[in-house]
């Protein structure tokens, strides 16, 4: 199966009442591990790349690598640009063949956010690419963006409805108390607002900041209406930790493939656990 338009994957999830995991990959190893986990658990999945990853490899190369594996599996797979802030880089991903892109203009005032988002939507839809927007401000660290917890801004249902109607974005990330990176203190999640937004809209909702949340909390967010949930930091941590632990235990071994296989297996376990709790396992 070739790459699928991300919004179609999400609408299928909305109708069936489950959530699709969106996992940030950094290289071929992590890309392959996420798809392997999705195949093992018969689950649709979204592969995400940050702007940093796109700059490192180039959008065309990332699309080619993903298609190489996507064409060999019956699993629905989307390739998504996470937190795009620069129009030229977003355009590069659109033209290269990404399934979807995110335009994150949430740091701007509401009207400016709408204008910048709509500019991307107009271009992306010409190429059959769907778009994620964001309103509200999440705390934590994402690429070069750092937001303190006391500067976070939660999304209201009225804002979500107006923003989507005017920007024509396909799916929307909302701020309900989650944060990028690991949590230094217990997050104060506004699940009721997420539930209220979900009741009042017909488009898929996205939750960022899934790393570090308990499995019970993730299930609560899914039941409240999350259709896409982002996991980035946990995958990166497990990637690095598995390399370090293997090197520590095999300091006299000079076989990189064994080390990489060990990391691959760990990432498959990590992703598989999320697919189970999000309810997407067994849906394909």
Q: Which of 71, 82, 104, 170 is catalytic?
A: 82
The C-alpha atoms of residue 140 and residue 149 are separated, in whole angstroms, by 7
The C-alpha atoms of residue 37 and residue 34 are separated, in whole angstroms, by 5
For residue 22, which phi and psi values (nearest 5 degrees)? Answer: -120, 115
Active site residue 82: yes
Q: Rounded to 5, what percent of the chain is helix, strand, coil?
A: 50, 20, 30
Torsional sign, CA 29, 35, 39, 41: positive
In 3D, which of 155, 159, 157 has the Cα closest to residue 198? 157
The C-alpha atoms of residue 95 and residue 59 are separated, in whole angstroms, by 9
Q: What is the DSSP string of 190-250?
A: -HHHHHHHHHH-SS-EEE---TT--HHHHHHHHHTTEEEEEE-HHHHHHHHHHHHHHHHHT
Distance of CA 278 to the CA centre of its chain: 13
List, by residue number, the catalytic residues: 82
């Amino acid at each position: 199966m070739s790459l699928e338009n991300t919004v179609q994957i999400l609408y299928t999830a909305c109708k069936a009442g489950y959530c699709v995991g969106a996992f940030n990959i950094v290289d071929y190893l992590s890309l392959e591990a996420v798809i392997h986990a999705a195949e093992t658990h018969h689950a649709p999945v979204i592969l995400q790349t940050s702007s940093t990853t796109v700059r490192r490899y180039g959008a065309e190369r990332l699309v080619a690598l993903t298609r190489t594996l996507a064409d060999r599996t019956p699993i629905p797979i989307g390739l998504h640009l996470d937190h795009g802030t620069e129009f030229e880089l977003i355009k590069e991903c659109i033209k290269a063949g990404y399934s979807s892109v995110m335009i994150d203009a949430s740091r701007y005032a509401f009207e400016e956010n709408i204008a910048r988002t709509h500019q991307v939507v107009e271009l992306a839809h010409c190429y059959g690419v769907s778009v994620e927007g964001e309103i509200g401000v999440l705390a934590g660290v994402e690429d070069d963006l750092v937001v303190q917890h006391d500067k976070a801004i939660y999304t209201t249902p009225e804002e979500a409805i107006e923003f989507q109607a005017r920007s024509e974005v396909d799916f929307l990330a909302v701020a309900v108390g989650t944060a990028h990176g690991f949590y230094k203190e217990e997050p104060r999640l506004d699940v009721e607002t997420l539930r209220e937004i979900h009741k009042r809209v017909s488009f898929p909702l996205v939750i960022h900041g899934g790393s570090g949340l308990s499995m019970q909390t993730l299930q609560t967010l899914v039941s409240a209406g999350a259709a896409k949930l982002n996991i980035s930091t946990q995958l990166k941590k497990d990637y690095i930790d598995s390399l370090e632990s293997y090197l520590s235990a095999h300091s006299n071994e000079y076989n990189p493939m064994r080390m990489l296989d060990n990391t691959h297996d760990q990432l498959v376990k990590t992703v598989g656990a999320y697919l189970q709790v999000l309810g997407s396992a067994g849906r394909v």
